[in-house]
């Protein structure tokens, strides 16, 4: 990618009625400085490009997203943040993406990022994501969340923020996993409680939360199919004298090792037969592609809490928070 120096004045700050007219953006994606002033609401550049920031830009997913977004048509990368004390602070985003310099350095202030961007992709940690949702609500910035492991209070914070900003929240942004959720829900609806349900997942040795967010989402799909909630029927791990399996429970087993990107299997087991449905991810690129799709979809949407099923067209959509 050719080096693209930052313009003297951010086109996002131009007003449509002020001469001279803003110069049309070139067809190829380009990058502007992260310090550019945000445009008035709605947050959309005159050129039509969607301004995107990445929270957690130095992580595995963040680096892959930077590379994909820099090449995506209709997208303008405007910044990236990391936690305070990160070794990535001050680095050019291009160095993280493995491309030519972007002319933008990694910062540590999410307030600036959410003020500058139309959409922020968030692959950080639960406490940071809950905080970021507040910035999304304050600025009306679309927030695409791939962070997993949020507790009930953090999920509630995201839900409150969705009353003022469009938020796409998904444990897994791949097409295959979202299809798998639909299949699991339908199977659980058809098969009665004589069929035991177990969810088995495996990830790389560095993953910190267990079971994975995707495993829990699959368990929630199975619980919906059974007409109940996962909280009532979940069984996380068994050890020692665990006793016989309770009828109707949904069990989880989490494995960790090597560099496994993500394997998920849902087992339906009855006397004399067993059905297993599996998804295996061999590259994080599929999650990054889904995230880019979510970014383009979320820009300009009404406030509300959405899922990847909305993005992919599998469901009717979220109820707008303002009732509109």
pLDDT at 284: 85
Which residues are annotated as catalytic? 203, 207
pLDDT at 10: 42
What string of pLDDT tens digits covers the 324 residues of the chain? Answer: 444 444 444 444 333 444 444 444 444 333 333 333 333 344 444 457 899 999 999 998 999 999 999 888 889 999 999 999 999 999 999 999 988 899 999 999 999 999 999 999 999 999 999 999 999 999 999 999 999 889 999 999 999 999 999 999 998 999 999 999 999 999 999 999 999 999 999 999 999 999 999 999 999 999 999 999 999 999 998 889 889 999 999 999 999 999 999 999 999 999 999 999 999 999 888 898 999 999 999 999 999 999 999 999 886 444 445 444
pTM of the predicted model as reported, rounded to 2 decimal places = 0.74
CATH for 175-281 is 3.30.360.10
**Cis upstream peptide for 222 (omega within 30°):** no
**Which sequence spans correspond to the domains of the chain?**
11-20+27-173+285-312, 175-281
- Asked if residues 6 and 33 have their Cβ atoms less than 8 Å apart, the reply is yes
Q: Which helix (H) or strand (E) holds 236?
A: strand 234-236
Angle of the 152-161 helix axis to the 126-139 helix axis, nearest 10: 10
Angle of the 213-225 helix axis to the 175-190 helix axis, nearest 10: 30
Tokens coding 181? 């959720």
pLDDT at 47: 55
The CATH number for 11-20+27-173+285-312, chosen from 3.40.50.2020, 3.40.50.720, 3.10.20.30, 1.10.3720.10, is 3.40.50.720
């Amino acid at each position: 990618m050719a080096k693209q120096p930052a313009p003297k004045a951010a086109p996002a700050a131009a007003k449509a009625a002020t001469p001279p007219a803003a110069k049309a953006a070139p067809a190829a994606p380009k990058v502007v400085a992260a310090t550019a002033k945000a445009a008035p609401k709605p947050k959309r550049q005159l050129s039509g490009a969607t301004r995107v920031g990445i929270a957690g830009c130095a992580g595995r997913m963040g680096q892959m997203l930077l590379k994909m977004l820099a090449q995506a048509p209709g997208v303008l990368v405007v910044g990236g943040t990391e936690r305070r004390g990160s070794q990535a602070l001050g680095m050019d985003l291009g160095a993280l993406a493995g491309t030519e310099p972007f002319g933008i350095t990694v910062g540590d202030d999410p307030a600036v990022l959410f003020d500058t961007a139309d959409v922020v992709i968030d692959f950080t940690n639960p406490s940071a994501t809950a905080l970021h949702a507040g910035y999304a609500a304050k600025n009306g910035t679309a927030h695409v969340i791939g962070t997993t492991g949020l507790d009930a209070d953090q999920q509630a914070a995201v839900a409150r923020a969705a009353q003022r900003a469009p938020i796409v929240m998904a444990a897994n942004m791949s097409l295959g996993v979202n299809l798998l959720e639909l299949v699991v829900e339908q199977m659980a609806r058809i098969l009665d409680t004589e069929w035991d349900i177990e969810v088995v997942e495996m990830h790389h040795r560095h993953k910190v939360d267990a079971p994975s967010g995707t495993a829990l989402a699959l368990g929630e799909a199975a619980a919906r199919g059974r007409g109940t909630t996962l909280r009532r029927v979940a069984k996380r791990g068994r050890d020692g004298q665990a006793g016989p399996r309770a009828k109707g429970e949904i069990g989880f087993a989490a494995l960790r090792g090597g560099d496994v990107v993500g394997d998920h299997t849902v087992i339906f087991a009855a006397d004399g037969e067993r059905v297993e449905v599996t998804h295996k991810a061999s590259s994080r690129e599929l999650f990054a592609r889904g995230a880019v799709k979510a970014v383009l979809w979320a820009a300009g949407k009404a406030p509300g809490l959405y899922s990847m099923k909305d993005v992919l067209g599998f469901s009717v959509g979220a109820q707008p928070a303002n009732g509109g």
